[in-house]
Structure 1
């Protein structure tokens, strides 16, 4: 990996997380990493921070790359692929773009060695999880390279069936947004009762963190753990009654399903409205 040249097309948040992880784990050499995007100042920021190369010319970025990471917004992919015709035949193309199928990328690039993946936000601190799959042309060596690159973000899960990628996009890819919203709601509830916000934040964050760790170590169904803290006629029972009455469980299920449907739509969309912002938030 240290000798492999890696080009990131779209120097956004997740691209930076991958770069930072690769360098932190000494899986890549900074001089072999290039970030390419439309804004010179973003490239300069990454160059100063990590010592990598930066450019606004996608064609030059991919010229000698062993791995090309596609990390642009889904709406920009079709246009960006038009400028990526010089990818080496033996290079690996690794996409982290929501909804973009292997078929779409392969057709747009006229290239067959494709890995499609879906990381999530905690990857920025090495605590993420990425689901990925590969075209049949991806070699065993390239699969190991993929594991190393995605492993820099946290855990990685390989799946044979590409349809799982759209499901992962809705569940784990968008999942942090659901957790943050739930966290925000709990903190606001604490403030509404009268807690200072800083104390409400401390209580909620440690409760969520501790609950997740406890669940991970307990190896029991979450319903069993929930029952342990739900005394008959108690405060938890009262709160859970209102959550169920409000359709809490159904709302979550429908939200994830909506995200899944949107991921499928993104894979079929033709370029229409293109976000005028760059890839910094991808």
Structure 2
């Protein structure tokens, strides 16, 4: 069994006793949908709950500590030279444990010809995630104590020959995250900070590490959001990135986003994204559109 899957199983084992206790204490509807609107976040490109680019300490779905939450998403990113699409599902257990899966598809379009891959060649990746809330609450509890979660994302690049050709050391790897998120309800402001240990190149779509560097590096993700109303939020995110590949410079990412809850279950997110240089093509700035259905 791969080591990252052991981490996922370990997180599940830690959370299941709490879930079982809550289930015995109250036999209410399992999918209670009791979270405040938007406090479960939206969905990242890697399938975890959070912002569009940054992982948060939130747990997927609208379920409280008495039930189960469930979400599914589709995200599109349009860039000058590339197209990005991801879709997936996430399960939240007792607002304590999150299990997620996302499939990423990266369309090289005309760039595929220049890179020798063929026009419209698509890079693909599977991301399996687990996140465990270890302290605090996004909304409730101590005013200055954020919700804190640890997570692991196991990434399996489905185009190993391409990843190895550009200089990556491996076609699969794992990211480890530690996130702190708090909504200061009286000020309508949400703040998030995430530390990520990673060796993923372009989030893993170009493999992991390089022939000269196969070590994880510590990266930072930050988010700030302002709640205009119960249904509308605006904000910004920043995500630092490793720069492992000699032939392809990698820049940090940022976005400016707006999210709107059309209903209690359906949230749309639109964002301006700046992903910098991708596979030697600079100024990859464009738009992100994501739809999340959560229960």
TM-score by length of 1: 0.27
Higher strand content, 1 or 2:
2
Higher relative contact order, chain-length normalized (CA < 8 Å, sep 6+): 1
Higher helix content, 1 or 2:
1
